[in-house]
Amino acid sequence: MKERKHSIEDLFILVTFLVYAIALLLFASLGATVYRTVTSGMQQHQIQRTAESYLREKIRQNDRADAIQIGEVEGQQALQITEQIKGKKYVTYIYADEGMLKELFISAEKEPKLQDGTALLEMQNLTFEEEGDGYLNIGLQTEQEKMHRFLIRKRSNSL
């Protein structure tokens, strides 16, 4: 009778230990999943904020009459920034291609090609719309996020 009591107590201790061990593993797994989700979301928002800041700064730097237009590179919508350097005309194209935000700086005489752009950030989609009264509506879409839109008003009203 005494041996049977010990085996039941041992079994109870073992089952209790297993329940706690399984609960610990489940909580650790849940914590890791939450951590991955939060860090991924933070990374996507950081990319979005960086892209927005980059575009705002490029527009502010080149806010001159007829310097900024909405154009295309091989059928892909692009922000087109024209400038004169030592009497020669150059164009900077900003667009999304192959999941990346790209910038291409070339002579206005040359034909732009999508693959020639320099990749800057991960970006699935980039849209530009003229809103009137000098406003430009820009849409950014990173890998997992919905389209993030923001307005910027040009002081030169060249759109």
Percentage of the chain beyond pLDDT 70 is: 94
Domain ranges for the chain = 42-153
List pLDDT tens digits, range 32-47. 999 999 998 888 889 8
What is d(CA 98, CA 86) in angstroms, rounded to the nearest whole number?
34
Strand ranges (E), 98-147 = 100-107, 118-122, 125-132, 135-141
List pLDDT tens digits, range 4-58. 567 888 899 999 999 999 999 999 999 999 999 999 888 888 989 999 999 999 9
Please give the pLDDT value at position 17: 94
Map tokens 């007829």 to a residue. 66
Asked if 148 contacts 48 with a C-beta cutoff of 8 angstroms, the reply is yes
For residue 25, give the amino acid letter: L
Please give the pLDDT value at position 1: 47
With CA atoms as reference, report the closest residue to 127 among 119, 138, 118.
Answer: 138
